Structure 1
Amino acid sequence: MKKAIFSLLAVVAFALPSQAQVFKLGIKAGPNFANFTGSDIQTKTRTSFHAGGAAEIGISKKFSVAPELLYTSQGADVEGVGDFNLDYISVPVLARIYIVEEKFSIDLGPQFSFLLDGDEIADDIENEDYDFAVAGGVTVNITKSLFAQARYVAGLTEASKDAEVKNSVVQFSVGYNFL
């Protein structure tokens, strides 16, 4: 069984690069406009940021897989309590579908986030250690190396074990591919 799995992985590893039209590796950063959804708690949007690495693995001229590794600061300003700050390491893995070849794409996929640090809304409210979300947006390749993105990330899991709120984030990014 181990031999069969290893053989399959070896075939996939050697076949993908020969079929891939592109491989890009770069960095990106930009502002976050974060808030909570799903509760009657009065909140205001919190402006923060995200930064990290981005890759793109071309499967065909119209389709790529775009994994990223990001530090992202989220949360919300909770009325009467203050700034609720949640810092995550996020791993979005997006399907990138090119509408205009090599220039404009629609991106969609899951995002897994792991809490690094978070403020408590109140002493008796505990944060979740992870966040699972769906992300969708667009990418515009300005040049071969420079790109811009707009994305919405909708949390699917509760951000807190007690408050029944989910993360909701609008992100704008500028990035540079060095490979």
Structure 2
Amino acid sequence: MKNIFFVLLLAAFTSFNAQSSSMSFGIKGGYNLSSMKFFDEKSDSKSYFYVGALAEQALSPKFAVQAEVLYTQLGGKESYPWVEVIGNEVVNVGDMNFEYQLNQVQIPVSAKYYVIPAFSVSAGMNFGINVSTKVKSSNEFTGTNKQNFEWVKSVNFFPFLGAEYKINDKFFVDARYNFNFIEVSKENSVPMKIGFLQAGLGYRFK
């Protein structure tokens, strides 16, 4: 299903590009580093990749609007001591490890301001649609177990700030930080937020 969704959006971007001389179309990919917070307790960071496509509509020499579709994984990692009662003693038998995995199709929409022709700053909202949500638990005695992670909303919202630098007419580098201002957890569950950094390389066809 996610592959069909991705192809349809790519086709839409291509169609828009053919109809407007002031619209550019491209692809991008890079590094994603995310971390989760349960209540106010921050988890260890999780790294992954992202890949996708973009369309930018120029409004003037200084302003533009950009929409993207990306695929990535968010999450975090936690470890807790695992103890057992053996005889009359409480024995530490290792750590119980948890890794949270939220596979998402993301649709960032931003307003861009060109400080100079090669450098722009942006602000916008990233709409994250969960394709699957899993939690993986493991320890050296019971092995690894993966199950559905039911606490998370189907759609998440991440406000972001970013910047882009054009290396030349085709290639660019960009980075943005998606803030954890809005909870991703469902009502009546453990409060949970996710923030993440994205940085990578892109190519514009036009």
Q: Quick check: TM above 0.5?
A: yes
Distance 1:93 1:124, change over 3 A: closer
Distance 1:64 1:78, change over 3 A: same
Q: 2:151 corresponds to which residue?
A: 126
- Which piece of structure 1 moves more, 39-48 or 106-115? 39-48
- In terms of fraction of residues, the more strand-rich structure is 2
2:123 is aligned with 1:108:
yes
Q: 1:165 aligns with which of 187, 192, 195?
A: 192
Q: 2:75 corresponds to which residue?
A: 75
Partners in 1 of 2:74 and 2:184 — Cα distance? 10
Q: 1:87 aligns with which of 103, 109, 116?
A: 103
Partners in 1 of 2:191 and 2:164 — Cα distance? 32
| Overall identity of the aligned pairs, in % | 27
Question: What SS class does the counterpart of residue 120 from structure 2 fall into?
Answer: strand
Q: 1:10 corresponds to which residue?
A: none
Q: 1:23 corresponds to which residue?
A: 23
Distance 1:45 1:146, change over 3 A: same
Distance 1:172 1:124, change over 3 A: closer
Aligned partners of 1:32 and 1:169 also within 8 Å: yes
In structure 2, stretches of 5+ residues that fail to align are 1-15, 81-96, 137-146
Question: What SS class does the counterpart of residue 79 from structure 1 fall into?
Answer: strand
2:115 is aligned with 1:99:
yes
Deviation for aligned residue 1:63: 0.3
> Structure 2-normalised TM-score?
0.71
Aligned partners of 2:35 and 2:75 also within 8 Å: yes
Aligned partners of 2:33 and 2:48 also within 8 Å: yes
In structure 1, stretches of 5+ residues that fail to align are 1-12
1:113-151, Cα deviation, whole Å (9 max, x unpaired): 110011147888522111011011100011111010010
Q: Counterpart amino acid of 2:166?
A: N
Question: What SS class does the counterpart of residue 41 from structure 2 fall into?
Answer: coil
1:4-39, Cα deviation, whole Å (9 max, x unpaired): xxxxxxxxx9xx95xx7x321011000111001362
Q: Counterpart amino acid of 1:131?
A: N
Partners in 1 of 2:73 and 2:54 — Cα distance? 17
> Structure 1-normalised TM-score?
0.81
Count of residues in correspondence between the two structures: 161
Distance 1:123 1:112, change over 3 A: closer
Q: Counterpart amino acid of 2:195?
A: S
